[in-house]
Amino acid sequence: MEKVIEFIKKKSARVAVIGLGYVGLPLLVELGKVGFEVVGIDIDKKRVDSINRGESYIFDIDSHEFGALVKRGRISATADYRILRGIDVICICVPTSLSKTKDPDISHIIECCQEIVKYLKKGQLILVESTTYPGTTSEIIKPILEQSGMAAGKDFYLAFSPERIDPGNKAYYLTNTPRVVGGLTSNCTEVARKFFEQIIEKVVPVSSTESAEMVKLLENTFRSINIALVNEVAIICNKLKIDVWDVIEAASTKPFGFTPFYPGPGSGGHCIPVDPHYLSWKLKKLNYHARFIELAGEINSNMPSYIVNRLDELLNERGKSINGFFFLILGVAYKRDINDTRKSPAIEIMRILMQKGGRVLYNDPYVLFLKTNSETLKSQALTKGILARADCVIIATDHSVYDYKWIVEHSRLIFDTRNATKGIVSNKIVKL
């Protein structure tokens, strides 16, 4: 153990990051910045080539800094797993998702471990960062790696450390967000802790890989349920003709026992709509029905339909209908100030409106093209003209670059799903 810790502290440990997306690429960069020589492995050749050209495809990464690290040979990428032969620390950041029946799909983790085992060597540290259900590291990953004939915790170190990165968050990023680690044995935890201490300000060890896996699911289930609660409160307030935004603002003045969450068009991204189902799937196997999780998922995924129903009612009151109406959607990323559209509720709103005969265009300064099932849409220039032509402008994502006062001034009707127009008084605005 001392040998690998020594390598890590001196930054002479050679590190590989497998899966170079929203999680893996920022990690590659931070490791390179502190002095490790780090190689990324990805099955996507285009991504590998882009990295080796010094071009980042992840929004939050400073391209100048990135290019310089590649030029200095600190970071590089390959699609060839044979590079693992000379590696001391391996970080697994491949995607995990859900099947159509909402069962966990950890096939990428399994495929990647089947490659790692071919090159596993004594003293190596394997860190799993992909979100998954409790038990994956000890029940699935460990047996695959032990096919090498080596024992986890004795011959090599194995730990789980959930990635908490929040793309677009300017206050909390990879290095100042505390990092949880849970190893298969206390030695595994210790080696993993030492590794993360090289790039992260605070590392929080937990007692097992299962605890570390569960931490991530608790965090995202907490968010999913609270978002669902506040979405339901928004529906309730609308029925009672109460301004939900007013209520949340006032409730937030309570200095204890209340944490504000805000309603919106649903939950999006790769984590909140997905991760809690990993837990409910695991519980189903133990004959327990995780009701909160299921209910929260149902409420959140129903929000786009709820919003379209509200629009329907709004138009009916004015003797109009969605069919033939021109809607301009502002913001299609799943949240503010990023370009990620995965599971974005804005896209679902667009789909339902189109299905009902609405004419739909969008603007998003961060998403210039948007692939739907049937076509590729292009972000429209945001001009006075298009705002005036739109029968209804829907603020689906509240990017901070938008000038909401100007938008309200030039639009005829606005449906604001995010309270982005807070403080602007106009009878053209309808809020969630």
Ligand X SMILES: NC(=O)c1ccc[n+]([C@@H]2O[C@H](COP(=O)([O-])OP(=O)(O)OC[C@H]3O[C@@H](n4cnc5c(N)ncnc54)[C@H](O)[C@@H]3O)[C@@H](O)[C@H]2O)c1
**Least distance from C-beta 51 to ligand X, angstroms?**
10
Nearer to ligand X, 220 or 411 (CB): 220
Cβ-proximal residue to ligand X, closest one = 21
Tell me the residue length of the chain.
Answer: 432
What is the CB neighbour count within 10 angstroms for residue 254? Answer: 10
- 3-state percent breakdown (helix, strand, coil) of the chain, nearest 5: 40, 15, 45
Residues with Cβ within 8 Å of 292's Cβ and at least 6 positions away in sequence, in order, are: 221, 225
> What whole-number distance in Å separates Cα of residue 93 and Cα of residue 24?
5
Site residues, ligand X (CB under 6 A)? 18-24, 41-44, 47, 93-96, 108, 111-112, 130-131, 163, 165, 167, 270-271
**Least distance from C-beta 220 to ligand X, angstroms?**
8
Nearer to ligand X, 172 or 406 (CB): 172
Looking at the chain, the number of H-run helices and the number of E-run strands are: 14, 17
β-bridge pairing 97-98 and 104-105: antiparallel
DSSP for 137-182?
IIIIIHHHHGGGSPPBTTTBEEEE------TT-SSS-TTTS-EEEE
Nearer to ligand X, 270 or 431 (CB): 270
Q: Would you say 220 and 275 are in contact if contact means Cβ atoms under 8 Å apart?
A: yes
DSSP for 333-370?
SSSTT----TT-HHHHHHHHHHHTT-EEEEE-TT-SEE
**Least distance from C-beta 391 to ligand X, angstroms?**
35
Q: Would you say 110 and 144 are in contact if contact means Cβ atoms under 8 Å apart?
A: yes
Over the Cα atoms of the chain, what is R_g?
A: 24
Provide the 3-class DSSP secondary structure of residue 324.
coil
**Least distance from C-beta 112 to ligand X, angstroms?**
4
Nearer to ligand X, 165 or 395 (CB): 165
Nearer to ligand X, 136 or 411 (CB): 136
> What whole-number distance in Å separates Cα of residue 387 and Cα of residue 403?
13
> What whole-number distance in Å separates Cα of residue 431 and Cα of residue 245?
9
**Least distance from C-beta 31 to ligand X, angstroms?**
15
The C-alpha angle 12, 13, 17, rounded to 5 degrees, equals: 130
**Least distance from C-beta 114 to ligand X, angstroms?**
9
**Least distance from C-beta 309 to ligand X, angstroms?**
30
- Tokens of residue 427, six digits: 């009878």
First and final C-alpha spacing in the chain: 56
Nearer to ligand X, 96 or 344 (CB): 96
Catalytic residue among 91, 93, 271, 392: 271
Upper half-sphere CA count for residue 60 (Cβ side, 13 Å): 23
Could you tell me which residues are beta bridge partners of residue 158? Answer: 126
Nearer to ligand X, 8 or 51 (CB): 51
Residues with Cβ within 8 Å of 353's Cβ and at least 6 positions away in sequence, in order, are: 308, 311, 322, 327, 360
**Least distance from C-beta 374 to ligand X, angstroms?**
23
Nearer to ligand X, 75 or 94 (CB): 94
> What whole-number distance in Å separates Cα of residue 11 and Cα of residue 79?
24
**Least distance from C-beta 351 to ligand X, angstroms?**
22
Nearer to ligand X, 110 or 247 (CB): 110
Respond yes or no: is residue 112 known to be catalytic: no
Catalytic residues, which ones?
A: 271
